[in-house]
């Protein structure tokens, strides 16, 4: 049966924002398999080659605003401000699972003004959503994942894979010993659907790491293995690496990178996700990527 407002009320509906994001594209088959009809909200529309699901209707933001009232559930894999906008417009939402980022925990001391403001904005929006939930009785869970990878849409691990593909090496800050917990988007989609089905009381937020903790340097080595390339780490002293990044940014030779990112390669960005593992049986995979994790997946209907 096609996903539309005439569908029987016995079929639960979920509004999925960020439907074409790295979490969203893995979430849709799981939501369908779990019995949901899905309003998939995306500015870009359905990705090319993505399967057609009878229970899924792809919409832009304006179209979804007109149809969101019957939905009892929100799964936000997009911007926090968009989640807020839909929750304010849809009076019948009972449950909202909203993705934020572990950066609000690990990067609060950043010296980059743009980055610091982004963290403050995220924290402010999280607080607004929590206040809204308290005043309306909405069942809200904010999920804070670490480094996400899995389909080539992230700007961290897939950026490194692209660097390997293009140049054959990865520059790193010295020994790059800072610990990381990369997490696959498919594992995040799975735990989000579990949270939608959870009947008990949920905490305000849960942190979500990957299946293992490893250094930035070791993480980079795994990327070479996934790309089936010889390991070539260019270990630069921090002062030189930072200077090169500043120079490249000034000339607009690179984007999305700043000196703070270089410095953090020596800093542990580790979260404690035991609460999610115990409450939602969260069991993420270890970081053993393959080349297919750096491009859109070939998803089949479940």
Q: 110-168: per-residue pLDDT in tens?
A: 888 988 999 999 999 999 999 999 999 999 999 999 999 999 999 899 999 999 999 99
Fold of 94-294: Rossmann fold (3.40.50)
Q: Per-residue confidence at 69, pLDDT binned at 50, 70, 90?
A: low
- CA distances for 36 relative to 109, 188, 195, angstroms: 40, 18, 14
pTM above 0.85, yes or no: yes
Average pLDDT over residues 171-200: 96
Contacts of 166 (CB under 8 A, 6+ apart): none
DSSP for residue 275: H
pLDDT of amino acid 32 = 95
Beta pairing, strands 56-59 & 37-41: parallel
Q: How far apart are CA 108 and CA 120, in angstroms?
A: 8
Q: How far apart are CA 197 and CA 229, in angstroms?
A: 42
Per DSSP, the three-state class of 190 is helix
pLDDT of amino acid 63 = 83
pLDDT of amino acid 5 = 35
Alpha helices in the chain (DSSP H): 24-33, 61-67, 80-89, 103-106, 113-136, 157-167, 185-197, 216-226, 238-250, 259-263, 274-280
């Amino acid at each position: 049966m096609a996903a539309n407002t005439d569908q029987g009320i016995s079929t639960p509906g979920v509004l999925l924002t960020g439907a074409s994001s790295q979490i969203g594209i893995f979430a849709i088959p799981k939501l369908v398999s779990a019995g949901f009809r899905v309003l998939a909200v995306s500015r870009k529309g359905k990705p090319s080659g993505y399967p057609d699901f009878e229970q899924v209707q792809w919409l832009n933001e304006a179209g979804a605003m007109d149809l969101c009232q019957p939905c009892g559930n929100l799964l936000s894999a997009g911007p926090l401000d968009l989640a807020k906008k839909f929750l304010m417009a849809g009076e019948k939402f009972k449950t909202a699972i909203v993705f934020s980022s572990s950066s609000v925990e690990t990067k609060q001391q950043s010296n980059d003004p743009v980055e610091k403001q982004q963290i403050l904005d995220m924290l402010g929006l999280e607080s607004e959503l929590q206040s809204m939930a308290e005043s309306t009785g909405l069942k809200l869970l904010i999920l804070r994942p670490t480094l996400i990878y899995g389909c080539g849409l992230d700007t961290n691990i897939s950026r490194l894979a692209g660097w390997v593909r293009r140049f054959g090496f990865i520059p790193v800050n010295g020994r790059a010993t800072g610990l990381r917990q990369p997490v696959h988007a498919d594992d995040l989609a799975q735990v989000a659907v579990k949270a939608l089905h959870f009947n008990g009381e949920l905490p305000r937020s849960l942190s979500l790491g990957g299946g293992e903790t490893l250094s930035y340097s070791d993480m980079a080595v795994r990327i070479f293995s996934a790309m089936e390339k010889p390991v070539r780490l260019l270990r630069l002293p921090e002062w030189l690496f930072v200077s090169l990044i500043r120079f490249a940014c000034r000339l607009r030779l690179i984007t999305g990178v700043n000196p703070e990112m270089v410095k953090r390669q020596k800093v542990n960005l580790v979260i404690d996700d035991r609460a999610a593992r115990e409450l939602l049986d969260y069991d993420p995979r270890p970081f053993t990527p393959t080349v297919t994790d750096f491009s859109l997946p070939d998803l089949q209907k479940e």
